[in-house]
């Protein structure tokens, strides 16, 4: 009997449980229908609001069209600024207040005479400049007048300031698209130029972006999306951005090609021509170069409009402060000779130039193996390695820089006491640029070139360029395999038999 009672109780429990499930299901269904109803009502409400917004926008548009022209332009400028701030996800930078023009005219009168504004002049004063260099005195007034120019000057003459100061002054306020494009042949020179623009624009809201290879594009894309007024770029990486449509050159007003001849030497002619053609025709174009070969002049014929030639005539000869000579030696003994030279001199900083990247790596390892503090710089190194090499050398952490010709131009490396050319450069102009890394700022310097017989033709070209014979010397105490030839044998004409 108890068994049947238990069975009955179990049955009643199952029935009660089923009824509770049905009631819960009905309740859930009702709630779902209520939620759906609420969503439908909200959607209908949004549609109504959207219609009202469209009507309001149309009304605002008609009233804007009927507004005075000056008022409408002012509103547009404010809208552009708002859009840029929104893109940046942060407000535009608040620059410091510049000095008064009265003070600036007193402290840097020569720069004030150019007619530059107080924001640019305040940055010039902060940089410690007092007197313009010849290239600055010649170029700045013409650039401010809107003229295309071809500026010819050697490295270290202040040509970066010659084009950056007037451009920053003419840009005035900030905008979202790049209005200035500066092309540089190497990452190091591009980085240096971008730093100069940042320093000279510290009293403005202008933003500059460095576009170079060897680093991730993601950060560059983010910077471009935020808005940039000035883009300093190497040709290859800039074309990468152009092809991926992460940059537009449609608003470029000022195009600067720095170290144009070096771009040609490095094979960038096609890339540079491609970039120039993608820039607006209505622009101001500036060419700056240490030399002006025929290829550069041909490019300037179609890229520039009635350009003015400015700058100093380039004397293809070393500065008087540089003592330069060659050590004739067999190629197989050049590594040993470098060590012997270093043992016999005292130096704080020294650069060893070589023609190839492989030689740069091997010489760097060779010197490091002899307990010298060495940095190595060439184009196969990652950007981080290149930046570290330059930084360590400038800060004195290393006192020898082994480099290819990417360090021979444009880079601001001071206090270099010696330059050693491991080999004779193939391009004659590179000899002048290499040894020009020493003997700067009226300081004395020495340049030594290791010369082997197979490089005779290169050496003759250099002597023709500088219009002078380079002295041959013998390194005392060095164990030569073959006695060096210091005087060239004079070839006498053969006597004909009568």
CATH code of the domain made up of 322-466: 3.40.50.300
* Structure confidence at residue 493 (pLDDT): 54
pLDDT of 235: 94
Residue 419 forms beta bridges with which residues? 351, 447
Q: What are the two backbone dihedrals, phi and then psi, of residue 182, each rounded to the nearest 5 degrees?
A: -115, 125
Amino acid 182: pLDDT: 97
Q: How far apart are CA 257 and CA 283, in angstroms?
A: 13
The helix (H) or strand (E) run that includes residue 449 is strand 445-451
Give per-residue pLDDT as tens, 237-248: 999 999 999 999
Tokens standing for residue 465: 């360029």
Residues of the chain with pLDDT under 70: 1-91, 154-156, 312-317, 409-412, 441-442, 488-498
The closest of 19, 204, 171, 6 to 95, measured between CA atoms, is 204
- Residue partners of 45: CB distance under 8 A and separation at least 6: none
Averaged pLDDT of the chain: 81
- Contact status, residue 378 vs residue 404, Cβ threshold 8 Å: yes
Nearest of 113, 87, 98 to residue 174 by alpha carbon: 87
Q: Which residues of 467-490 are buried (b: 16+ CB within 10 A; e: fewer)?
A: eeebebeebeebeeeeebeeeeee
pLDDT at 443: 77
Could you count the other beta carbons within 10 Å of the beta carbon of residue 215?
A: 16
b/e sequence 102-134, b meaning 16+ C-beta within 10 Å:
eebeeebeebbebebbbbbbbbbbeeebeebbe
* CATH architecture of structural domain 132-311: 3-Layer(aba) Sandwich (3.40)
């Amino acid at each position: 009997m108890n068994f049947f009672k238990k069975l009955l109780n179990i049955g009643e429990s199952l029935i009660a449980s089923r009824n509770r499930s049905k009631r819960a299901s009905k309740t859930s269904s009702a709630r779902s229908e209520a939620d759906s109803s609420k969503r439908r009502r909200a959607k209908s409400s949004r549609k109504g609001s959207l219609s009202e917004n469209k009507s309001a926008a149309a009304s605002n548009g008609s009233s804007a069209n009927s507004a005075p022209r000056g008022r409408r332009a002012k509103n547009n400028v404010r809208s552009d600024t708002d859009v840029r701030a929104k893109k940046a996800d942060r407000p535009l930078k608040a620059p410091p207040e510049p000095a008064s023009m009265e003070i600036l005219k007193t402290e840097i009168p020569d720069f004030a005479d150019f007619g530059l504004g107080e924001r640019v002049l305040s940055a010039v004063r902060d940089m410690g400049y007092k007197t313009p260099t010849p290239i600055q005195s010649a170029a700045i007034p013409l650039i401010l007048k809107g003229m295309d120019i071809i500026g010819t000057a050697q490295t270290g003459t202040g040509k970066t300031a010659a084009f950056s100061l007037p451009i920053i002054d003419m840009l005035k306020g900030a905008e979202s698209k790049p209005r200035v494009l500066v092309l540089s042949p190497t990452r190091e020179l591009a980085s240096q130029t971008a730093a100069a623009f940042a320093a000279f624009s510290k009293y403005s809201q202008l933003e500059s972006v460095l576009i170079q290879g060897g680093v991730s594009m993601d950060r560059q894309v983010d910077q471009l999306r935020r808005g940039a007024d000035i883009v300093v770029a190497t040709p290859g990486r800039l074309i990468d951005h152009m092809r991926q449509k992460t940059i537009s050159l449609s608003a470029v007003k000022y195009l600067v090609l720095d170290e144009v001849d070096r771009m040609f030497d490095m094979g960038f002619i096609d890339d540079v021509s491609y970039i120039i053609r993608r820039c607006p025709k209505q622009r101001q174009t500036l060419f700056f170069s240490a030399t002006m070969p025929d290829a550069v002049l041909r490019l300037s014929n179609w890229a520039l409009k009635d350009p003015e030639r400015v700058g100093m005539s380039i004397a293809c000869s070393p500065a008087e402060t540089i003592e330069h000579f060659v050590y004739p030696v067999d190629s197989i003994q050049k590594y040993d000779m470098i060590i012997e030279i270093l043992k016999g001199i005292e130096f704080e900083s020294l650069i060893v130039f070589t023609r190839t990247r492989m030689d740069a790596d091997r010489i760097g390892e060779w010197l490091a193996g002899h307990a010298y503090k060495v940095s190595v710089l060439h184009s196969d190194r990652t950007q981080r390695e290149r930046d570290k090499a330059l930084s360590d050398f400038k800060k004195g952490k290393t006192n020898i820089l082994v480099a290819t010709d990417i360090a021979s131009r444009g880079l601001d490396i001071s206090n270099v006491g010696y330059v050693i050319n491991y080999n004779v450069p193939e391009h004659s102009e590179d000899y002048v640029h290499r040894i020009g890394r020493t003997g700067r700022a009226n300081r004395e310097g020495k340049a030594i070139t290791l010369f082997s017989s197979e490089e005779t033709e290169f050496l003759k070209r250099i002597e023709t360029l500088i219009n002078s014979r380079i002295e041959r010397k013998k390194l005392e105490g060095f164990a030569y395999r073959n006695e060096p030839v210091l005087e060239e044998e004079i070839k006498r004409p053969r006597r004909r038999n009568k």
